[in-house]
Each structure stands twice: as structure tokens, then as C-alpha cells.
Structure 1
Amino acid sequence: MPMKVTKVSLVRSIMLGLIASVAGCPVEAQKTYCNPIDIDYKYNYEQLNDSISYRSGADPVIVNHKGTYFLFVTISGGYWHSYDLLQWHYIVPDKWPMEDMCAPAAMSVKDTLYLFQSTFEQRPIFYSLEPEKGKLKFYNRWLPALPKEVGPWDPALFYDEELNRWFMYWGSSNVYPMYGSELEKHARLRYKGDYKPMLYLHPEEHGWERFGRDHRSNIKPFMEGAWMTKHNGKYYLQYGAPGTEYNVYANGTYVGDSPLGPFTYAPYNPVSYKPGGFVTGAGHGNTFQDKHGNYWNTGTPWIAVNWNFERRIAMFPAGFDADGQMFSNTRFGDLPHALPDKKWNNKDDLFLGWMLLSYRKPATASSVRDTFATANLTDENPRTFWVAKQNKPGEWITVDLGKEQSVKAIQVNYTDYKSDIFDNDSARVYTQFKLYASRDGKQWDLVADLSREKKRDRPNAYVPLTMPVRARYIKYEHGYVASPNLAVSDLRIFGNGFGKPPKTPAQFTAVRDADPRNAFVRWQKVPGAVGYNILWGIGREKLYQTYQIFGDEPSVKEIRALSKGVSYYFAIEAFNENGVSQKSETVFVP
């Protein structure tokens, strides 16, 4: 039944907040976010004829246009804008293409935002001087047609301010290369001269370009998602591979001295890679700078419940080190991070140290449909889920953390189980719920009320608490979701325990396989560890890659993302609800 908040419990909540504030600053003193990003992902009508309904977002481009951020996503009927990378507001433009945009290209140049869609036909480039108002105009009526198989699909627009020249890159294929062409500004951004191939995939050399879960498929991989970034006179031509359907979707880069190359494969690839954890997959996004000068890399995590291409959006801190090496930091990439209010100095500066408190913790619910058990709520897998017998207000979930912890944020991840929605009518497509905390499972305190806010659809609702709350139990009380079924994949709870971080894993080894694209890492399990981060890179101080492993998995892992002819360094760290261990000794793998 719905929880009633009495005056006693309200006083208790205030007292808990006061106690928490003695131990640390209020949570809201720092704006925070958690992947997948919390936006109103749109129901995708791409599979309408097959009666498959799902909310999705993919192929993101975030553009910083005059201090305002604009987010463009595949087949969403519009786009979003934000002033802080946290609160995103949906915009339906007054003029939209002949069909909804797939994998769009966007670019900000001075006072103008340019927009172009993926296409194998003739399509226009749009521009806007008022994108926050949805005002789009034709910049040109269409680009000249290219051969049907060439595209341009998955395009990226690039303006080189120093050279005052314009370019486009594109490609989405496991047969054809990524292409590039200069655009003629005086001809309204038409192709200038011939287009030419930029790069191909080479999975026989680069292990991370192999298809399938953990790169175990022989299917020829796909190259897609072009993006160009210029940094310190170098041109970083980025691409997504090997395919969006698995955990290893990643971004890589080639580097050149001019906009159309020649380009050289970066030995430290991939630059953005997240095969483990709740959010898996980091490919096909873009790189942008925020208003403080910090770099970010966006990507497309994989959900795949109702449809294999059901996805979400993630963004990770990124940058270039002193040697010009491009990187994206996905370590703890699906745990809460701070949004910066200045330039950060260290790649881990934004990680708050709020740990995952809910992994494999017991959960109970008001009802359970069939075999969609409550154990699915805490398994950190978006493809398993709990379903209530009815979608009605007052249905509830309770997670027992096992002991009192300092709870700082909660994320509710809905699943569109047997959804029948094919529109995005905001009058009926929204989510509402309440969150409670308790120290004994009897006396409950309301810690968040999303039934009172303006109706918003939040399929991956991230809720930082105003103050940390000392609690053993967390309860979700259902209000409303438009789907015919109430289904939740994971109720994720973040904060800190009151114990010690785990010890550093001992007996860590890393050995290259006979196939040099692979390496086996082994370690001794640490008592009480929730999980481990396997770290690696091409230098002792360049361990930019992370593969997260949970503690109930085997203590051996085959890393299949290496490139032939490149030497690596490996290390490992353990984490639990209290924090992170010291990193192990670094192992050189020739």
C-alpha cells in the first residue's frame, strides 16, 4: 500500500539530513549525473510495422553552441538542449527533414548551428540561428547525389577555423571505407572535388575491431560514426566499431597532419571502450568541449530487450594527454560523476567515490509476474528485469542493503516489457514515483518525490538525494508509467559504507596469448570485493582502458582488445561499498 509520511517521519528525515550534513556537504552542493544520461528517450516507431515498441536513443552528437548544449539522437522527432549538461529540454523544430533523422551530423560555427542527416539520397543541410527555439532553415536544398552504396550515411561536419575550410566525413558499412570530402563554402557546402577513402577496419590486426560479445564473432565488423577533432595541430578522425549490438561497441581514432590525411592508426585504440558493468558499449558518438574547456566523448550503450537496436546515451570525461594521446575515461563510467564547474586536471577528478551499494542485494516487491523475479533488480544487467502483476499506483520494491549505509543517489531503470506505445504524447508518456529510506524496515522516510514534479518521461531516472541518508532499506513506490506493464530492470543505489576499502588484489599476472590480439589476466580474489577494474594501456602512466568485473565472476579474464605489434601495461584494482583499493603493481606485456 502507498506509504504515509507522518510529521514524525518528516522530522526524522530532517534529523537524518542534519546528521549527514555534519559528515559531509549536501549532495546538491555539486551537480551530478549518471550514465545512461537521464533524458526522455523517445518511443521509436522504426519497427511500427513489426509491432515492436521501445524507447531508445543512439548515435549521439552533443554540440556546444554559444554556451548552450544541443543533443541530436537517431530517430527522436526533434532534439534536446541544455545549459548545464544535466537538465535536458526537448525541442520539436518547426521544419524537419523528409523523414526523421538517423545518425545526424551537427556543427556550430560562430552564430550558426548546421544540421545534416544520414542518407543514401539527396538531402538538404539545415542551419539555425535560433536552435533553442526550434527554428531551422534550408542552408542548401540538397547535396549532389553520390553512388547509392557510398552514402553519405553516418556523416560528420567539420569546420577548420585556422584554415577556414569545411569538410564532411561519413561511412557505415562492413564493406566500404569511411570517406571524406572537402565542402565548398561558397557553393552552400557542396562537395568540392572528389570524395576519397579515409580508413578501413583491420580486425586481423586490431583485436577490438572484431565483432560479437567480447570480440568472439567471425562476422565481418562494421565501421561507422565518423567524427573529427582538431587538437594542437593534429587531426583525430574518429570512428565507431565493431557493431552496436554487443558490449564492445567502441570509438577509435586515426591521426593525421591535414584534414583529409593521410591518417595513421593510433596504437592506443580504442579511445572509448566500456565492455563491463551496467552500461556497456561506448561507440558511435562524438567529442566536444564544454564551456569550461573540458572534453567529453559520447557513445551508445546497448539495452536490447524488445529490439536488438534498443539503446541509450552515455557521456564520459575525455581529453588529450601531454603526448597528444586521445582518451576517454570509462572507469566507473556508470556510477555517479560530478559535472564540472571549471577545468579539471586529472582524468578521475569527476568520479565522486559514490560506490554501488545494491549489487546482488536481496529485493522484495508487492507482486511478481511469472518468472520476472526481484533478483533481477540488483544484478546490474539491463536485459533482465522484474515485472509487477499489475501496473497500478502503490506497487513497490524494497532493497535490503544488508546494513546501514550512507545513501547518496538512486537510479530507477524502467523496461518497456510488451510495450504498445508508438507515439510520444507527453500527456500520457511520463513516469512518476516516490523513494523512501529506512534504518529498520518499519519506519520510512520520504527522500524523493517524483510524483509532484512536472510530468516528465524518465526511463533511466537518476535521483541524487538532497542530503546523504543513513539507511539499510530503500523503497520504490510506483506512481505511473505509460507502458501497459510496470517493469524495472535495475534499482541502483549509490553511496558509501562505513567500513574500509578492499585490499589490493594479489598475484596479479597478465600474459599475452599466442594470438597477440588477446591477453589473459589473473588475480587472487579479495574478500568482500564487489568487483575489480582491469586497467591497461600503452604506457605505465597511460592505463586508460578499463574492463570492470564483478566479484562473483571468475578471477581470470581474457582481454581480446589488443593490437598486434603494440606493447601494453596492465594493472588491477578492487572496489567494494566503501571505496577503491590501491592499484596493483603494473605488469608489462610485450
Structure 2
Amino acid sequence: MKKLAKLVSITLVSGLISSCTSEQVPVKNDRIVTNPIDLNYRFQPNDESRREAADPVLEYFKGYYYMFASKSGGYWRSEDLAKWEYIPCTTIPTMEDYAPTILVYGDTLYFTASSGNTRIYKNAHPEKDTWEEVDTKFEFPQHDPAFFKDDDERVYFYWGCSDVDPIMGVEVDPKDGFRAIGEPKALIQHNCDKYGWEVPGKNNEEPRQGWNEGPCVLKHNGRYYLQYAAPGTQYRIYGDGNYVGDNPLGPFEYVEDNPFSFKPGGFIGGAGHGHTFKDKYGNYWHVASMTISVRHWFERRLGLFPVVVSEKYGMYALTTFADYPFCIPDRKVDFEKEDINMGWNLLSYKKKVSSSLHFEGYEPELANDENVETWWAAQTGNAGEWLQIDLGKPMEVNAIQVNFADHNFNVHAPHDPVFYQYYIEGSTNGKEWTRLVDEEKNLQDAPHKLHTLNVPAKVQYLKICNTKDMEGSFSLFDLRVFGQGGGKVPAEVTGFQALRDNNDKRIYRFTWNPQENVTGYILRWGIQKEKLTHSMVVYENQYEARYFNRDSEYYFSVSAFNENGVGK
């Protein structure tokens, strides 16, 4: 979604949609994505049946992006960051350990994961499952490891995952079994009394230290950005912060505008324990953990966010509408000035819904509430189960994101691909229907698939119907519809107040006058008036946040948005 001044007209040219960037370079439909990333998230071997992937790391190697994530039984590769190929892995015995990390060194990719005894593996051809163990000489116990290779080919190793212990780092010699050179240094301590975002809890409210974890290092213009996550992976307020220094092992200074990767609102929240990398065109991205945490506190997904690294404004990930459709550029892009969002607005939020018979507590209204923690579930998994949304009037639909909830499944790893078969129809009157999406012969495990229509459809009603008998229930976290509402954007918000708590300056409380004809509001903030680098999507006209720095001063703004765009 764009501000009014940046709305882009959608033009169809030989099956292409005009670019979401200001230069109007054509973009293929298969480069349009959204979050969470649509992957074959694996069901876990134990506990309640649920999918999981988290703690991602991603590097470009020999023409492909390779992405590893916790508890995935393998890894993925991609040529374009949009389409992913899964590679099952059995030759790494520690593949089931949490928090993997990888290192590109010479013509080889190295892997290790979180464990008490570091075991490292290598593969010059990771498109094949042919990993070999390295004779490792690294002797320090570690959790949440991270490799970093400097421009001079020197390699450093970082780790940390604790509510007590600091983030640590040491130089290592990859030519000598990753033997540590010198003693490890403590680099980041806990400071939740100063930094509200390090405090655990759904709203940073628990009176204890959070977990500092998941380090990662990025070098930009000669400076080293040491990243870390806090306060816990199960919270929407999970984010990544930065310390910056002139040496890979510090000393490091806290970046006041932390956390740089943060997404507490929207359909799916969380943007922590991630990895910042550069694509083949030189653009920065951040891949991170996103949370569901209902069936299990480690029920998680992955998100991909563009990153700005600015000499003036520092580093920040663009997360405001990161769960709306955006395009993956095929060129160098200035993310500070060019918007890669497609300009399609959410049309489905809390519109009238109906469905086949459902379970109590899993009503159809939960399938368009913009909340991945709730879902609709039909009473069976039989063919013919359905859900329908009434948009209220005919609107131009450009894309539909289908988010399957796997309700009442009894699937555990190892398992075959779990795939849904279905179709989606559209109608202007609820009587005559046109098929917009046909997945009746689908054999791909795609639980968060974004269907981008080749030709926008002007419809008022949308209906998804199951066509495959399956165990469990046909169920949806949300059926999300994107396009153009054809009306007016909301008026400028009035009565905005930001009040800081007198007893705890980490807490702000915001209120404003309720607006008519709105979907929700975007609250923005930052430490520099001309660049508000953070945002939160709010659906009411009040909000309390506890994730601010105790000693920092902030600027704020609020704007309303609806199915037509964003107001002033």
C-alpha cells in the first residue's frame, strides 16, 4: 500500500504488471510475493501437529540464494528470492539443531548450528545433499552461532542465546578447523531497564530480563553492525537491534533507533532472530522469524524485508505493509526512495463472511480478521467445504493470499508433502461465478500461497472451495484479498496525542479521534523528525507501547488507511 501521492495505476502488458517502483519497469507475476514466505514449512516430529521454521540465515553462493532455518529437515535455494526449491538433507547429523548459520569461504559453503559441541560441515555443491564434516578445533560451547567473513578474508564467530549471558565473539581460522584465535569477548550485555524492547511479554510487560540471542554481523562502509534479537521468539514484539563499531570484535555502541527490524502489527507479526544479507544486485534484505505460537510457542514462519542502510538515518527494515504484495526487484534499487510495494490495498478485512459448517470457536469471521493467531475451521476436510467473502460492492481484485491453518491435522515429520487442492471463484451478484484460481490438481506444499491474477477481476463475492478429501479440517488462518476499492482514502487523523508514562519512560500511550471509513491506522515513530523509521498497524483509536528506549526522545505520526489507500 502506498500513500496517496504514490499510488500506481496497474497496467496489463503481455501478462506483465507495471512495476511497483517509480521507474515503471515491468515485473512478472512470479516476482510478486508477500509475507510470510510461502514455503513447504515442515510439520514437527513431536508434540502437537504444527509447522515450524525460524532463525533463518541466507547467503548468495554460486548463482543461488541458500536459506537455512531451524527444524526444517533440509534447506531451500532460489535464483530470485521469489521461487524456492526445497533440498532435503540427511548428510548433516546436526540438521535438527536450532539456529543454523552458514559461511561462504572460497568455493565452499560451511554449515553449523546451535549445540554445546560445535560441529561444522562443508559442501562445495550444496545443490546436492553431499555434506562432509570438518575436523573442528573450535572448543567453546555456543548457542545461536553466526559466521562473519571480513573483506580481508578473516573470519569471526559469534554466539549468544540467554537471559543472563552476553553476546560473544571471537576470531577463528577456517584453514585450521576453525580454531579460535585469542579468547572470546563479551560484546552485548542485557539492558532491559534502558531498552523497553528487550523486556519479555506480549506487550513487554513482564518484570524480568528477556533473551538476547541470534547475533549476525553486517559490514557497510567500513563499519560493523552487530545484530541481536530480543526478547523472545514467541512474541509479536520480537525484533532485531544493532550495535555498531569500527572493528569486528568491538567495542560496539548501541544504535539509538533500535530495533531496526520490528513488526508487531498486521496479519503476522515478529521480525527477530534474522540475518541481513546483500542480493546479487547489491540490495540489502533481512530474513527473520515471524510468530504464530498458538499450538506451540515455537510455531513460526519466515519473513523477508527490504533494508535501508543510510548514512543519515542508519539501518532500518521496511516492515509497514510487508505482509501485503510486493515485488522482488531484478536490479539495484534505492529502497529509501523507491517503493517495491504493489500498491494493492487490503479489501477483505472484516467483510461479511459465510461458510460451510464450522467448529465452535473457529467461526468464519476469523478468516478475515488480519490475525494469524486465529482461524476458521470447517467441520471436516471433505471436498465441498467452502468459505465466502462479500466485499460489500464490486472491487478490482489483483491478488488473493490463501493461508491454510492445518486444523486437526495429525502430521509429524518425516512426512510426504502436505498439499491442498481447491479453487477460488468470483462473482458480481453471488449467482454467476467465474473461476479465478484453479488449484484442483495442485501437488505443491504451499500453505501461504499468493495468487496474483493475470487480469484484475472486478467482483463483489469471492468463494474458496475444497476439492480434496483430507484428514483434519479444511481451515484458513485468513483468506486475504488485495486490490483497489475504488473509493476515497481516509481523511487526515485528528486529535492525536502521545503521552509518556511519568514513572516509566519506556512506555507511551497514544490516542486519536476515531475516523470514518477506515480499515486501520499506521502509527509511525523514530528519533529523527524527518525520517520515522518504525511503524505499527493499529485497528482501534488507541494504543499502548512499552518498547521505547528510556533515555531517547521520539517523534510520532498517525495516518488512517482503508481499501483505497493511506490518508495524510
- The amino acid across from 1:381 in the alignment is N
Q: Does 1:399 align with 2:397?
A: no
Within a 5 Å distance, the mapping from 1:44-193 to structure 2 comes to 44-45=44-45, 48=46, 51-93=47-89, 95-98=91-94, 100-121=96-117, 123-138=118-133, 140-146=134-140, 151-161=141-151, 163-193=152-182
User: Any stretches of 5+ residues in structure 1 without a counterpart?
Assistant: 1-18, 583-590
The structural deviation recorded for 1:390 is 1.3
Q: Does 1:43 align with 2:34?
A: no
SS of equivalent residue, structure 1 residue 108? strand
Please name the residue that 2:421 is paired with: 432
Please name the residue that 1:285 is paired with: 274
The structural deviation recorded for 1:65 is 1.4
The structural deviation recorded for 1:541 is 2.2
- The amino acid across from 2:124 in the alignment is L
Please name the residue that 1:310 is paired with: 299
- The amino acid across from 1:187 in the alignment is D
Q: Does 1:259 align with 2:248?
A: yes
The structural deviation recorded for 1:26 is 3.8
Within a 5 Å distance, the mapping from 1:509-528 to structure 2 comes to 509-514=497-502, 515-528=504-517
Q: 1:535 to 1:220 in 2, by over 3 A?
A: same
Please name the residue that 1:420 is paired with: 410
The structural deviation recorded for 1:174 is 0.3
Q: 1:257 to 1:296 in 2, by over 3 A?
A: same
1:213 to 198, 202, 218: 202
Q: 1:324 to 1:374 in 2, by over 3 A?
A: closer
SS of equivalent residue, structure 2 residue 559? strand
SS of equivalent residue, structure 2 residue 564? coil
User: Any stretches of 5+ residues in structure 2 without a counterpart?
Assistant: 1-9, 19-26
The structural deviation recorded for 1:113 is 1.4
The structural deviation recorded for 1:21 is 4.1
Please name the residue that 2:492 is paired with: 504
Q: Is the 8 A contact 2:269 2:291 kept in 1?
A: yes
The structural deviation recorded for 1:20 is 7.8
The structural deviation recorded for 1:520 is 2.2
Number of equivalences = 548
Q: 1:233 to 1:532 in 2, by over 3 A?
A: same
The structural deviation recorded for 1:155 is 0.5
SS of equivalent residue, structure 1 residue 169? strand
Q: Is the 8 A contact 2:272 2:290 kept in 1?
A: yes
- How far apart, in 2, do the equivalents of 1:55 and 1:580 lie? 34
Encode CA deviations 1:362-414: one digit per residue, 9 max, x unaligned: 11112212332111111111121111121111211111111111111111111
Please name the residue that 2:566 is paired with: 580
The structural deviation recorded for 1:452 is 2.7
- How far apart, in 1, do the equivalents of 2:135 and 2:313 lie? 39
- The amino acid across from 1:477 in the alignment is C
Q: Is the 8 A contact 2:42 2:53 kept in 1?
A: yes
Please name the residue that 1:476 is paired with: 464
Please name the residue that 1:9 is paired with: none
The structural deviation recorded for 1:101 is 3.1
Within a 5 Å distance, the mapping from 1:364-383 to structure 2 comes to 364-383=354-373
- How far apart, in 2, do the equivalents of 1:493 and 1:294 lie? 29
- How far apart, in 2, do the equivalents of 1:264 and 1:98 lie? 34
- The amino acid across from 2:356 in the alignment is S
The structural deviation recorded for 1:171 is 0.6
Encode CA deviations 1:481-526: one digit per residue, 9 max, x unaligned: 8552222121111111111111121222223221221222222222
Q: Is the 8 A contact 1:20 1:470 kept in 2?
A: no
The structural deviation recorded for 1:289 is 1.1
Q: 1:483 to 1:309 in 2, by over 3 A?
A: farther
SS of equivalent residue, structure 1 residue 75? coil
Q: 1:118 to 1:483 in 2, by over 3 A?
A: farther
SS of equivalent residue, structure 2 residue 291? coil
SS of equivalent residue, structure 1 residue 380? coil
Q: 1:285 to 1:485 in 2, by over 3 A?
A: same
Q: Does 1:247 align with 2:236?
A: yes
Please name the residue that 2:431 is paired with: 442
- How far apart, in 1, do the equivalents of 2:515 and 2:469 lie? 41
- The amino acid across from 1:227 in the alignment is C
- How far apart, in 2, do the equivalents of 1:66 and 1:435 lie? 39
- How far apart, in 2, do the equivalents of 1:92 and 1:299 lie? 21
Please name the residue that 2:447 is paired with: 459
Please name the residue that 2:32 is paired with: 32
- How far apart, in 2, do the equivalents of 1:155 and 1:318 lie? 22
- How far apart, in 1, do the equivalents of 2:419 and 2:43 lie? 12
Q: Please, what TM-score do these two structures have when normalized by structure 1?
A: 0.89
- The amino acid across from 1:379 in the alignment is D
Q: 1:82 to 1:135 in 2, by over 3 A?
A: same
- How far apart, in 1, do the equivalents of 2:402 and 2:64 lie? 27
Q: Is the 8 A contact 1:361 1:378 kept in 2?
A: yes
Q: Is the 8 A contact 1:170 1:180 kept in 2?
A: yes
Encode CA deviations 1:119-161: one digit per residue, 9 max, x unaligned: 012x3211221112233222x2334433xxxx31110000002
Q: Is the 8 A contact 1:431 1:481 kept in 2?
A: no
Flag the structure with higher helix content. 1
- How far apart, in 2, do the equivalents of 1:223 and 1:135 lie? 34
Q: Please, what TM-score do these two structures have when normalized by structure 2?
A: 0.93
Q: Is the 8 A contact 1:376 1:386 kept in 2?
A: yes
The structural deviation recorded for 1:74 is 0.3
Q: 1:419 to 1:132 in 2, by over 3 A?
A: same
Q: Is the 8 A contact 2:368 2:478 kept in 1?
A: yes
Please name the residue that 1:349 is paired with: 339
1:390 to 376, 380, 388: 380
Please name the residue that 1:12 is paired with: none
SS of equivalent residue, structure 1 residue 376? helix
Range with bigger deviation, 263-272 or 337-346: 337-346
The structural deviation recorded for 1:93 is 3.1
Q: Is the 8 A contact 2:74 2:89 kept in 1?
A: yes
Q: 1:80 to 1:482 in 2, by over 3 A?
A: farther
- The amino acid across from 2:550 in the alignment is K
- The amino acid across from 2:215 in the alignment is A
The structural deviation recorded for 1:29 is 3.5
Range with bigger deviation, 351-360 or 59-68: 59-68
Residue identity (%): 38
- How far apart, in 1, do the equivalents of 2:308 and 2:246 lie? 19
Q: Is the 8 A contact 1:208 1:248 kept in 2?
A: yes
Please name the residue that 1:494 is paired with: 482
- How far apart, in 1, do the equivalents of 2:562 and 2:335 lie? 23
Please name the residue that 1:408 is paired with: 398
Task: Tell me how large the CA RMSD over aligned residues is.
Answer: 2.0
- How far apart, in 1, do the equivalents of 2:205 and 2:263 lie? 16
Q: Is the 8 A contact 1:430 1:482 kept in 2?
A: no
Q: Is the 8 A contact 1:55 1:310 kept in 2?
A: yes
1:570 to 546, 556, 559: 556
1:358 to 348, 353, 359: 348
- How far apart, in 1, do the equivalents of 2:325 and 2:159 lie? 33
- How far apart, in 2, do the equivalents of 1:406 and 1:472 lie? 9
